[in-house]
Amino acid sequence: MARGLVQPRPFVKKKSSTPSFSAGRIIGSKRANTIQKNGFLLLVAKSYAGWVIVSIILILLGLFFLKGTWYNPNYLIQNITYSPETRAQYENTELFVLTSKYLRGQYLNTIQLGEKGKILSKIQEQYPFVRNMKIEYQSPQSIKVDFTFDYHKFRVKIGEKFWGVWNGKNTGELQSGRALAQTGVTIDTPAYLSGTESLSGFFYEVNFERYEQNIPKIKQTFTNIERFVYLAGSPNFIVFENGKTIYLHRDNLDYQLQKYLWLKNNYKNFAGIYEIDLGSQTQNRVIIKE
């Protein structure tokens, strides 16, 4: 018998069901990236939560610290005294009441860290000659206030009262027994103005700038001046010196002072003169009485 020929089957390479090495690397890499990303997000979330917790703790510690120091009841201002130095210069009850109004009920530390400047500015709106304010802790809930003042350019005496003049707009009544009222040039006024309660209208005929410019010249010329009187409502002044009454006018003061010096240095009986008019009646001549 003839043997049948067995046809060989063509060899076909079967695909392996096991993933190749390259495919495994890609899949593994994707899984690793996913795990790494999830881990990073988890780390961020944990870090954020940690910062929140730390922040809350710090805030609570800060509040506890503030309560124990800045906002300690011992530093809550209730009792206010004013230094003897302040009272010796300018003892003004209204100034003290105003200052106490701004300070009482505040915490000392908050005032020292910035509020003091604001309070001082408010005080200076009504008392512009207050230069500075110093606050010292004395005892629980008690402080001492010390003011420093700018001294006035001159003072005006009306009756028994003194008024300090710092500029044309800033004036204030002074206590005659206090240091602030005992310094500087005094401009006196006639007795008929006694009882006047303000300087309203005082600068109508002679403004502040004229006083500021002319007072040094008058002091330099009349070295032994006893009184300097402004005849309120007029442009005239009177100087009292060495038993002499000397009349001046607001205008051409330099010329009047030159006439006085010439008279003083050249008139033989100058010592016997008791009244001199340098310009209140006329600028053309000098009127003397002896």
242 located within any domain: yes
Instruction: Tell me, yes or no, whether 160 and 135 share the same domain.
Output: no
Share of the chain above pLDDT 70, in %: 76
45 located within any domain: yes
Whole-model pTM: value is 0.64
Instruction: Tell me, yes or no, whether 174 and 143 share the same domain.
Output: no
Instruction: Tell me, yes or no, whether 165 and 283 share the same domain.
Output: yes
**One-character DSSP codes across 139-182:** ETTEEEEEEEEPPPSEEEEETTEEEEESSSS-EEEE-TTSGGGS
> pLDDT tens digits, residue range 70-90?
678 889 999 999 999 999 988
170 located within any domain: yes
- Contact criterion met (CB below 8 Å) for 167 and 207: no
11 located within any domain: no
15 located within any domain: no
Cα–Cα distance, 116 to 6 (Å, whole number): 115
- Contact criterion met (CB below 8 Å) for 83 and 145: yes
42 or 111: whose pLDDT is higher?
111
Domain count, the chain: 3
**One-character DSSP codes across 127-148:** -TTEEEEEEEEEETTEEEEEEE
270 located within any domain: yes
With cut-offs at 50, 70 and 90, classify the pLDDT of residue 3.
very low
| Domain at 243, CATH number | 3.40.50
Alpha helices in the chain (DSSP H): 21-68, 84-89, 93-103, 108-110, 116-126, 208-221, 253-266
139 located within any domain: yes
Cα–Cα distance, 88 to 181 (Å, whole number): 10
> pLDDT tens digits, residue range 213-230?
999 999 999 999 999 999
Q: Which of 120, 149, 178 is the last residue of a domain?
A: 149
**Region of poorest pLDDT, from 21-25, 39-43, 231-235, 254-258:** 21-25
Q: What is the DSSP letter of 290?
A: -
Token reading at 237: 């002044």
> pLDDT tens digits, residue range 182-206?
877 899 988 888 877 778 788 888 8
With cut-offs at 50, 70 and 90, classify the pLDDT of residue 6.
very low
With cut-offs at 50, 70 and 90, classify the pLDDT of residue 207.
confident
Q: Which of 17, 37, 68 is the last residue of a domain?
A: 68
User: What's residue 44's pLDDT?
Assistant: 52
Q: Which of 129, 149, 169 is the last residue of a domain?
A: 149
Cα–Cα distance, 193 to 186 (Å, whole number): 16
Instruction: Tell me, yes or no, whether 143 and 196 share the same domain.
Output: no
Instruction: Tell me, yes or no, whether 165 and 237 share the same domain.
Output: yes
Residue type at 235 in one-letter notation: P
**In which domain, by residue range, is 221 found?**
154-289
Instruction: Tell me, yes or no, whether 140 and 164 share the same domain.
Output: no
| Residue 29 pLDDT exceeds 60 | no
* Structure-derived torsion over alpha carbons of residues 63, 67, 71, 75, reported in degrees to the nearest 10: -160
281 located within any domain: yes
| Residue 66 pLDDT exceeds 60 | no
| Domain at 78, CATH number | 3.10.20
